[in-house]
Structure 1
């Protein structure tokens, strides 16, 4: 039901009315409030002093000694070689001892060097070239003046990978030729005559010349949509004709389906 609103100056407003006070809902209180208060009071006064309530008093006998915090070396252990179980090597001979006679323990380097030099093959000097007036030398092999590649065994021969590729191309061409022959026997396709191919090629070139002549007559400024559209249309037709002319000139033999 809608509330009736009376004007300010009305006889119904002469009688004072009591103001209706809207009661507020009760304030929210947690059901754990008392429990939290009790837990807080339990540990509140446990550490009022500086530190815990009970501290172990240090003993007067355990006082800090001088240099007690310095690092200490490990205890010394008697040194051993670790071969106590194995027999020791024989002692070195004394100065007064003489070696046994008739046994040569020393190498005769003079005779050995003489024999090595007699049997040695003389070294061949490496070919060099001088590139400055001061006599600076460089190896001739790295200069590019030595013909190394023509002396190889397979010089002038076709590499193996090219031979394999050539054989693969030839095999694919034979398969294609056989497929074309079979299709021609079935009557599904026929070969385009050379005269007809030339006539088609001339007609394509003539059409391209006409489109090119129209393209040359266009305005240099393409400020309207119609001019721009006409220019793009002519360019698209000329590109298509160029592709067709290239196709007809590249392949001399062309097959046409009878369908």
Structure 2
């Protein structure tokens, strides 16, 4: 019978209730557990060390010699007898004496080696080739474009005619410009800026560009009115003009000003 639940302020809650203790069933234990534990110990104890714990230490006198593991054929009496006869024969033969310095060499003896020397000509040198595919296709190296044939030309390493002509024209134009500048300077129509004046003008141009750039950085990001847009465009045009002037003064070291 299920327990009846009453409200918290009910009178029935004052009656003491008996607590029923539930007993858990005993945990299941397999009857094969001891045999499994024993089997695991037997298989695991053998793997605790790398090999058996006690190993016979090899003796330093029994080291591995060269060709000791190669198969050897059994020695026969016939082979030993032939080797002995060959050694005795070669040792008993007497070599001819060394010819004296005054002895003339034998003439008229025609051997096979002399025939090879006289009959064969100089060997042909192989043609240099290059292989350009993985199938083995090859062609002569001279026609492959890898040989620098241009270094064998007569005019190799010389300056081309069009470059000489261009250099001559540039030199002539420079001389004419220098002559014109000299004439204008002599007439007093042009004035040459010194290096100090050029550096001073360059520094003033850069300082003016820095001021405009600082003012440009302080503009608002949103140009929602015509005045803001016009002011921004005016600053950009002025900065661009200053950049061109700075590049002009940095590019040319010699600057002339007209007196007009």
TM-score w.r.t. the length of structure 1 is: 0.49
Higher helix share: 2
